[in-house]
Copies of this chain bind each other. A is one copy, B any other.
Amino acid sequence: MMAEGSKIRIAILGASGYTGAELVRILLTHPSAEIAVLTGNTQAGQSFYSVFPQFAYAKGLPTLTKHEEHDWKDVDCVFCCLPHATTQDIIKALPQHLKVIDLSADFRLKDVNTYAEWYGGEHRAPELQKEAVYGLVELHRDAIKGARLLANPGCYPTAAQLPLIPLVKAGLVLPEDIIIDAKSGATGAGRAPKQGTLFCEIADGIHAYGVASHRHAPEIEQGLSEACGRAVTLNFTPHLMPMSRGILETMYVRLAPGATVEGAKKVLEEQYAGEHFVTVLPGKEVPQTRHVRGSNHVFMNVFADRVAGRAIVICAIDNLCKGASGQAVQNMNVMFGLPEHTAIDFAPVFP
């Protein structure tokens, strides 16, 4: 689709947040892509390194502009890192030749009523919602290949669905009794200044937030409902951690009658046998967020519970990478027919 030797010209809308910076980090080394446009409406006119000094060494990054300034003729692919709700209108106004990868929540929920209920307002682009493809790559690769508008999954839903969908689909885990205790690094809360995410408020402690009311619950439920063919309601309890990157989800599940932990683990091993970015850990090795930090990798494992009939599923990802920008580039690679691991096949940074 791309002319031989030509590069995909990329625009990143809302590049002044952490997911924008992570996209730049990845795309700087992408052999088939070039960053053509970076927008950040409140910081328009500034160099990108003045907003993210880690890029002081990178020559040739475009200056931040307002998205209204562009006619998008010289752009092939847009990554949209804007807040939910504002995103719909902006994407609706983009020309059709663009492939769009949306990192907000605006096109993730297929049911616009569910969207309205959880995100506090009517969906203003329901026709685009129908077109959008949900981009959990390892499970929806074929649909992604033909997508024009891609809804990049949420960070928590990525770590929950990758292990749970195969288990629920195989009938080994009862969808009625799922508890997800999630722990996330503070990048998930964004870069806007808030008292609650100051260093001194986050360091050296942990607390739950959004108890029984976090917006990622319906996204996970949507995936599991599709997998088992009936409506799923589950417990999802996120916690804020004194670390920048990483999500760990400890999922407490009830096995179906006759199902075993070994059987559950085998289902995951078979599902992900050929997947470069998903590793079912050997033996009783526990997934640790620090072991996937800075990478697009997913580590998971299944453990027996002492309580008969129960199992514990644990999954670790980097919320900014596989949980956001890494998966977004993975989706781009699939959408443009490139090798899927291009530019995201770097190793975790540990320690």
A: residues with CB less than 8 A from B are 18, 21, 24-25, 28-29, 52-58, 179, 181, 183, 185-187, 191-195, 197-209, 211-213, 217, 233-235, 237, 239, 241-246, 248, 250, 252, 276-277, 279, 281-282, 284-295, 297, 299, 303-308, 310, 312, 314, 316, 320, 345-351
- The answer to whether B312 and A211 touch across the interface, beta carbons within 8 angstroms, is yes
Excluding A53-B288, A203-B351, A204-B244, 17 further A-B contacts by CB distance (< 8 Å) are A29-B345, A53-B291, A54-B290, A54-B291, A56-B282, A56-B299, A183-B239, A186-B199, A191-B200, A199-B242, A203-B242, A204-B351, A206-B243, A206-B248, A207-B248, A208-B286, A213-B306
Q: How far is the CB of A193 from chain B (nearest CB, A)?
A: 4
Copies of the chain in the assembly: 4
Q: Most chain-B CB neighbours within 10 Å: which of A24, A242, A245, A248?
A: A242
Chain B neighbourhood of A314, CB < 8 A: 208, 211
CA distance A268 to B316 in the complex (A): 35
A347 engages B306 (CB within 8 Å)? no
Chain B: CB-nearest residue to A218: B306
Q: Given A199-B199, A211-B303, A212-B304, answer yes or no on A285-B351 (Cβ-Cβ < 8 Å).
A: no
Q: Are B191 and A193 closer than 8 Å at their CB atoms? A: no
Contact check: which of B193, B211, B235, B303 meets A194 at CB < 8 Å? B193
Which chain B residues lie closer than 8 Å to A212 at the CB level? 303-306, 312
Q: Are B306 and A217 in contact (CB under 8 A)?
A: yes
Residues in B neighbouring A345, C-beta threshold 8 A:
29
Expressed in whole angstroms, the Cα–Cα distance for A187 and B282 within the complex equals 27
| Interface contact A294-B294, CB-CB below 8 Å | yes
Cα–Cα distance between A347 and B29 once the two chains are bound (Å): 8
- Tell me which of A199, A211, A316 has the highest count of chain B C-beta atoms within 10 A of its own C-beta: A199
Q: Once the chains bind, are A54 and B350 in contact (CB under 8 Å)?
A: yes
A-B pairs, 9 with minimum CB distance: A205-B290, A207-B288, A200-B351, A193-B193, A199-B202, A54-B291, A181-B181, A54-B348, A244-B351
User: Are A279 and B57 touching (Cβ within 8 A)?
Assistant: yes
| CB-CB nearest in chain B for A214 | B306
Contacts of A181 in B (CB 8 A): 181, 250, 252
Q: How far apart are A14's CB and chain B's nearest CB, in angstroms?
A: 15
